[in-house]
Structure 1
């Protein structure tokens, strides 16, 4: 049942579509229908013109490339002794031959995507069913591998089966016949392509609603002059243009494995031995997501215990100082499918394998958002969510090694779920000259975090040969600030002239993503989004993500004080004590039947209709504090409907359905941050257990030393169970 409710917070109107589903119910993404809705938002005259330009450029450059290769006896394709495939892709503006190579040297735990799976920490049962992801690589995957079922398809007619493409595809969608090789989105589908016409094919696929594509390859670092490193060249411009014109599409790329290559002898900082300034081509694009490799250790609760950048992973920065790579995934010793046979597997390492782990996690987040809210996130929102929730590593703030940290799909899913309760996600448009303000109340003791992300127009300026040219590629320079009592908090920024230095706070003039963090925030703050200079086309879409705040006064308590009033011939009014900002779900049914009738209201009363005389009914009520954050139902009560003669206004006329429902208690504070205490007396030998919604026991102990510590728990809903002698009591609480 759908119910559109409009709330007002701090002058900002928020419209919700409530899609209530039973706990554990599986919702399948309606990909084709949602793709159609995405396509309706696109300007196909611009996309069509862009595709024509890409096709023309390709044909001209391909002819030039083949002619140069013939004249200079250049190899078009070759397989190196280490098994890597290399192919001449195009000729640069300066006449340099540009070769593509795969980024593997022969991943779902590190990205926390496993927390989203069936029986994962969040028990969301997300698997990619109904979702589709594009893969471009040195060739096409072996689509008949036993791990893919019928979910891998060749998208461009390619016939050259490639081991690297097969391994990347397996990291994304392997079903888990070999358990340790299971892909991140193990029921999703892959469209596999050869890299030869990657831009043209991606532009067409994105125009048709493709959300994500994986590119675990890039320009070979030892065959280009030094000025190419970190440069915003035409290939980066083309990819930015594709993403700008198809704003739901996000390109995910591998950073490369050239840290110790020594190939850039004139980096923007230090010497080639330092490993900085090694990103090339589309890894430098503003709007894409560039993935570094990490070595990480994750505990059983999905918490990052330690992490370091992989020894091979290429560092940024790019020449204009933007934060690249964007984040990191696990690229070490990944078991995946192999192309030797339909049942073969192999282990590989490199940013090639880190990248599909991140891409698959992003696909699951799109699936989850569709389940929760009936739509997909724009690419800027998805990218912003990943960067907003990444685990920071080493010094606070981003760096040029692993960007904003290690991908944390678990935390990203929690931010999605808690939208309008303790988080906020807004997709807005900033008009030229406009300022957007949002006032929020910080969650005491938490870190208030706010970020903006936007898909920026492609820069008209491209580098044509200047070494370490710092000209900013950013076109529309948006800004985020947070103020409180005359104090202004600024976003993170990095200094490309000293990339080893820790991040600092200041005016970020180069990145299309900005984030502010305020540890131990207290009180009310104002978030401000503005811009510098004029905006291209007089406007810019952007996404605002906020966490560590309260967006409602609603408390997660079951309604109390239920009573019956105003009985008529076939209906009666049910009333209860209202909770501030609460939305209520009322369920009732005949005692003799099992299915509930659900109705929703924003007030403390609701009329139960179509009742039958002398029939016994059961009724219960729960509170929703946001679209997906709800209390437990109240106790279930029974009444017999006698029409106008029904006894009115006496709660005693209700009967509880079972005596054990009367054994209840509560805790405070709820939501909790660091600890919880019981609002009931228990014996000295009482024991407690804290259980995840998936039924996993997380903590156990005695009650003798209250309060119970919960600071080490991740954000989410938990069950607290008390054993007091022979009596068992349980309640739910929310951990912020």
Structure 2
């Protein structure tokens, strides 16, 4: 299959796009899932909560209806109108072709739903111990309500064993998980299948019930109306309306894309009422659950005899029809729902019985059980994987039998009658050319295309379906036309003459009688189908694009295609041999287990090995060329290539995990740009070489192989991990997809011109190996798990993890993080360098000393300014360059290696700091970040001042860049650090302090404040005012997001009263002062005098204490400060004096 993307797209889309897209969708789905869980609470009422509401509103909890049916109160809708649930019931396997898949069916598949789990949500509970169920039905929610005949009948239609042959279910060995319909969305959320979150959940769920709406007959057989007169007195607005319940179903399907929700369309079409209001039908009679976009809505028909054409399909008298309010095609499909015979109960004791019932309740399990078998077949053919629900939907619609009076879909039958046999044949016959099933992802702005050449005979049909993000419920009203489609994808087929073929569309204005056309755009449905019944023998292009902006910037979608192609396979041959000789023509048949065709496969043959003899070996005797190879079954098989080459031109698929392919080369040769699918499942490929030779290939799974060679091919890997002994990538090779890890044992070589995915992990798992990436592609990790690895060429390696011995042999190896496991050895070649840009890690060395060495002389460059302390690491002949400080400890050996430290770790010094409030005129705060045993700090503020404090502050008067240095010293020596600090302009005004008794306040308002006492910040003092408790020199800083501004000093006495201004026998001079400042005291005070010197910014510069022993004394201070204004604070007992002096 060919995938042509516009050149501009190829240039713009990053190689990591696929991985990012997958991760992005996982995140989106997780968010939707969480939102859904949060929102379902109001719709998940407990019995006691229902009773309280019912009593308050005067409504019944249970209403008896005609025909022994009931309606049960569930919750209040958005208009506080009560919502009631009721059932939709008023020789199914043959009608839908499901018997062809069952034991004895003409497809010889013998499918029965083994190990398949289906959720059965219904009224109360089925009789779990009915003889038809064995031990396969479990009431998961623990309901002990009265057993329901309806639920038993539905369950039997799905999975009855067939003890009564006429009542056999669709999937006779399936496992049923039963739930009552209370809080259904919540239960579905918790119990549905998800390959990651809940791989043991139910893959499909059946819902044969819905809202009680419009007209219904009560227990007296009188017509009663259930509508909301506040919205409309004549019509129940909920018919066709996209409610919050519809949205929740869509959100759940979006969050769990493998989970298929199947809901009955309802039986309201024939409810005519008593004439006082509009009848419910015939059109626009589907309830909110069936209106959801991402579920399958099922109508009910009958089929008399075998299907020969649309006229054989008889519409039931009751099945609800579309269109829904926004004109989408609903129902999606129809199933057998008239006079369905299935398991039942009878009598007061609920004895085992059987009954014939009709309704969409019966058609829905017919479809649910059938599609469960389709998923089982797909799982068996695709290495245990299931289809996405959108794929199952597209497949069911693609293969549905035509129903109705006109070609194409309609609002009565949807896309037609389910044809399980045809769906199964699509899976069986998928060949990558004439029959295709694909799961794809359309990125924003992308167009997906592939080409084929029609044989001019067989019709062309293509269907796409996608799980659309949930729509937004419109305002409550009757028949709002708001479109619910979020991501609008477009499917077209264009012939070689430029003629465009459009998808089917229906016009909702024509109601249920609308006739499908295909001459325009479909802008309503998240399903599109293009069909060409009479193609010409020419080239066609299938194109998928989108309108506008995609929600989440991408939309996963599924594509199913069938056509007669002249550029595909010529024939299909099935292995029927007994002697194991590939080249014996008697061993091949044109049918599975059929008679010999007396021919052997050639380059146009699709080869199928689906029923090998147990333990059989099939051997090639010469080089062989085939179109595709498919290996199925569950018996042990060996395909021995006998040193020959098996050339495959299209695809390879295997689901037989007991198959061993060995002893030769499998050569995949792409003849054009069509994308070919390869799914190796769990084959044993350990003794086989694989060669991709040109073309485009998508590998869904691949086991461990011996040698992998890719030559000028585009290979998209769908799995995350590739296991291989040797990898050789030639120029022109492009590796794409979800591949994240390559594990190799001996060689990885990528030649120039190779494109590798971003964020790739390379893991060496062998004993002796070579890594050569001449494409210079950046990778996430290169890991040596313990062998001897030679690294001869590489791009940037984000993380190099070493355990074992690694030799670097290129001029410069670029590494983000170097991770050395204890006991490993890193060898750097003579004259070579290793640049480690981010960090170095070293674990303990229980196995011995780690070694970094060179046979001559090498360099390890590590620029980041940081300190490392390692133990058990020896260095020889490798010099360290850069700003980092790496200490190896006194027990390590350092030989002929410069700049490595070799002392106790605690003595290794690393000076460092940060600065805050770096604005002119502000108080810049320096935060010390230094490490080691530090005994002294020496700061230099760009030549303007110095400090010996640990975390100093400083005022820079002018905005510019200053070089700030910090020198620390200790037992380990001296370490100096310089940093250029930009002092920014400061728009803040300098504050003034206003004193009012013990309260100090900033005159200037600001967003925040910080008060200081004696140059130190006061903890918690961040208000405009501050109550003084102790004497001292006070300042306030006003602060915004980046700057602060400091006030002048205000000195307060120890009593906290007014600012002290007296002199009382104190004198100071000279003023201005040059070098010595004298303090004269002449009073009666005797005792200690505390003298403190503050600079103009309020920082304490000096503190000296003297003893005064007589009346008059002189004290001399060394005044060795920079020029400026200083404040002298003198405290004698409780008395405080302040003086201002100017330093010359």
TM-score by length of 2: 0.46
Establish whether residue 127 from structure 1 lines up as the match of residue 126 from structure 2. no
Q: Which residue in 1 is equivalent to 2:334?
A: 328
8 Å Cα contact 1:554-1:579 kept in structure 2? no
Q: Measure how far apart 1:145 and its partner are.
A: 0.3
Measured in 2, the distance between the counterparts of 1:59 and 1:413 equals 38
Task: State which of 167, 171, 181 in structure 1 corresponds to 2:157.
Answer: 171
Ranges in structure 2 where 5+ consecutive residues have no aligned partner: 6-24, 215-225, 229-235, 576-580, 585-598, 627-638, 655-1144
Measured in 2, the distance between the counterparts of 1:154 and 1:596 equals 44
Measured in 1, the distance between the counterparts of 2:329 and 2:275 equals 21
Q: Measure how far apart 1:441 and its partner are.
A: 2.4
Measured in 2, the distance between the counterparts of 1:550 and 1:432 equals 31
Residues 372-387 of structure 1 mapped to structure 2, 5 A cutoff: 372-374=381-383, 375-387=385-397
Task: State which of 528, 534, 543 in structure 2 corresponds to 1:514.
Answer: 528
Q: Which residue in 2 is equivalent to 1:352?
A: 361
Question: Using a 3 Å threshold, how does the CA distance of structure 1 residues 317 and 426 change in structure 2: closer, same or farther?
Answer: same
Measured in 2, the distance between the counterparts of 1:454 and 1:609 equals 42
8 Å Cα contact 1:10-1:440 kept in structure 2? no
8 Å Cα contact 2:319-2:359 kept in structure 1? yes
8 Å Cα contact 2:112-2:174 kept in structure 1? yes
Q: Measure how far apart 1:551 and its partner are.
A: 8.1
Residues 140-219 of structure 1 mapped to structure 2, 5 A cutoff: 140-160=125-145, 161-206=147-192, 207=194, 208=198, 209-219=201-211
Task: State which of 276, 290, 296 in structure 1 corresponds to 2:303.
Answer: 296
Measured in 1, the distance between the counterparts of 2:616 and 2:451 equals 39
Q: Measure how far apart 1:577 and its partner are.
A: 8.7
Measured in 2, the distance between the counterparts of 1:59 and 1:104 equals 24
**For each residue in 1:125-163, what CA deviation from the matched residue of structure 2 results, as whole angstroms up to 9, or x when unmatched?**
111111110011111111000000111111111112211
Q: Which residue in 2 is equivalent to 1:537?
A: 552
**For each residue in 1:329-385, what CA deviation from the matched residue of structure 2 results, as whole angstroms up to 9, or x when unmatched?**
011111111133453111111110000000011100000001111211000000111
Ranges in structure 1 where 5+ consecutive residues have no aligned partner: 1-7, 13-39, 564-575, 612-618, 630-736
Measured in 1, the distance between the counterparts of 2:608 and 2:319 equals 51
Question: Using a 3 Å threshold, how does the CA distance of structure 1 residues 443 and 146 change in structure 2: closer, same or farther?
Answer: farther
Residues 331-410 of structure 1 mapped to structure 2, 5 A cutoff: 331-340=337-346, 341-374=350-383, 375-393=385-403, 394-410=405-421
Q: Measure how far apart 1:455 and its partner are.
A: 0.2
Measured in 2, the distance between the counterparts of 1:256 and 1:466 equals 21
8 Å Cα contact 2:379-2:386 kept in structure 1? yes
Q: Measure how far apart 1:58 and its partner are.
A: 3.2
Q: Which residue in 2 is equivalent to 1:317?
A: 323
Measured in 2, the distance between the counterparts of 1:236 and 1:586 equals 45
Measured in 1, the distance between the counterparts of 2:44 and 2:640 equals 69
Q: Measure how far apart 1:281 and its partner are.
A: 1.5
8 Å Cα contact 1:586-1:622 kept in structure 2? no
Measured in 2, the distance between the counterparts of 1:264 and 1:90 equals 27
Task: State which of 458, 462, 482 in structure 2 corresponds to 1:471.
Answer: 482
Question: Using a 3 Å threshold, how does the CA distance of structure 1 residues 577 and 73 change in structure 2: closer, same or farther?
Answer: closer
Q: Which residue in 2 is equivalent to 1:580?
A: 603
Question: Using a 3 Å threshold, how does the CA distance of structure 1 residues 531 and 62 change in structure 2: closer, same or farther?
Answer: farther
Q: Measure how far apart 1:48 and its partner are.
A: 5.4
Q: Measure how far apart 1:121 and its partner are.
A: 2.2
Measured in 1, the distance between the counterparts of 2:320 and 2:327 equals 15
8 Å Cα contact 2:28-2:552 kept in structure 1? no
Measured in 2, the distance between the counterparts of 1:86 and 1:608 equals 65
The secondary structure found in structure 1 opposite 2:602 is coil
Measured in 1, the distance between the counterparts of 2:469 and 2:522 equals 17
The secondary structure found in structure 2 opposite 1:338 is strand
Q: Which of the pair has the greater relative contact order for Cα pairs under 8 Å at 6+ separation? A: 1
The secondary structure found in structure 2 opposite 1:497 is helix
Establish whether residue 458 from structure 1 lines up as the match of residue 458 from structure 2. no
Measured in 2, the distance between the counterparts of 1:586 and 1:276 equals 50
8 Å Cα contact 1:229-1:264 kept in structure 2? no
The secondary structure found in structure 2 opposite 1:413 is helix
8 Å Cα contact 2:492-2:542 kept in structure 1? yes
Establish whether residue 246 from structure 1 lines up as the match of residue 256 from structure 2. yes
Residues 486-565 of structure 1 mapped to structure 2, 5 A cutoff: 486-499=498-511, 500-505=513-518, 506-522=520-536, 523-550=538-565, 553-556=568-571
Question: Using a 3 Å threshold, how does the CA distance of structure 1 residues 546 and 217 change in structure 2: closer, same or farther?
Answer: same
Q: Measure how far apart 1:93 and its partner are.
A: 1.0
Q: Measure how far apart 1:57 and its partner are.
A: 2.6
Measured in 2, the distance between the counterparts of 1:229 and 1:524 equals 45
8 Å Cα contact 2:582-2:621 kept in structure 1? no
Task: State which of 257, 265, 282 in structure 1 corresponds to 2:289.
Answer: 282
Question: Using a 3 Å threshold, how does the CA distance of structure 1 residues 608 and 202 change in structure 2: closer, same or farther?
Answer: closer
Q: Measure how far apart 1:62 and its partner are.
A: 8.1
8 Å Cα contact 2:382-2:653 kept in structure 1? no
Question: Using a 3 Å threshold, how does the CA distance of structure 1 residues 219 and 305 change in structure 2: closer, same or farther?
Answer: same
Q: Which residue in 1 is equivalent to 2:1029?
A: none
Measured in 1, the distance between the counterparts of 2:466 and 2:475 equals 26
**For each residue in 1:142-190, what CA deviation from the matched residue of structure 2 results, as whole angstroms up to 9, or x when unmatched?**
1000000111111111112211111100000100001100001111011
Task: State which of 219, 224, 228 in structure 1 corresponds to 2:227.
Answer: 224
8 Å Cα contact 2:29-2:256 kept in structure 1? no
Q: Which residue in 1 is equivalent to 2:659?
A: none
Q: Which residue in 2 is equivalent to 1:635?
A: none
Bigger radius of gyration among the two: 2
Compare the two structures and name the one with the higher strand fraction.
2
The secondary structure found in structure 2 opposite 1:275 is coil
Q: Measure how far apart 1:118 and its partner are.
A: 1.5
Task: State which of 32, 43, 46 in structure 2 corresponds to 1:58.
Answer: 43
Residues 86-105 of structure 1 mapped to structure 2, 5 A cutoff: 86-105=71-90
Give the total of aligned pairs: 567
**For each residue in 1:585-621, what CA deviation from the matched residue of structure 2 results, as whole angstroms up to 9, or x when unmatched?**
899x9xxx9953136899527996889xxxxxxx9x9
Superposed CA RMSD in Å reads: 3.6
Q: Which residue in 1 is equivalent to 2:68?
A: 83
**For each residue in 1:255-300, what CA deviation from the matched residue of structure 2 results, as whole angstroms up to 9, or x when unmatched?**
1111121369999xxx74850111111110000000001121342x
8 Å Cα contact 2:36-2:251 kept in structure 1? no
Q: Which residue in 2 is equivalent to 1:427?
A: 439
8 Å Cα contact 1:581-1:625 kept in structure 2? no
Measured in 2, the distance between the counterparts of 1:303 and 1:628 equals 34
Q: Measure how far apart 1:43 and its partner are.
A: 7.1
Q: Measure how far apart 1:111 and its partner are.
A: 1.3
Q: Measure how far apart 1:443 and its partner are.
A: 4.0
**For each residue in 1:424-476, what CA deviation from the matched residue of structure 2 results, as whole angstroms up to 9, or x when unmatched?**
111000000000001122243221001110000001x2133121100001100
The secondary structure found in structure 2 opposite 1:344 is strand
The secondary structure found in structure 2 opposite 1:395 is coil
Question: Using a 3 Å threshold, how does the CA distance of structure 1 residues 486 and 608 change in structure 2: closer, same or farther?
Answer: closer
**For each residue in 1:476-534, what CA deviation from the matched residue of structure 2 results, as whole angstroms up to 9, or x when unmatched?**
00010000111000000111110213111121111000001101212221000000110
Measured in 1, the distance between the counterparts of 2:39 and 2:275 equals 32
Question: Using a 3 Å threshold, how does the CA distance of structure 1 residues 190 and 489 change in structure 2: closer, same or farther?
Answer: same
Question: Using a 3 Å threshold, how does the CA distance of structure 1 residues 195 and 608 change in structure 2: closer, same or farther?
Answer: closer
Compare the two structures and name the one with the higher helix fraction.
1
Measured in 1, the distance between the counterparts of 2:79 and 2:622 equals 65
Task: State which of 218, 236, 245 in structure 1 corresponds to 2:246.
Answer: 236
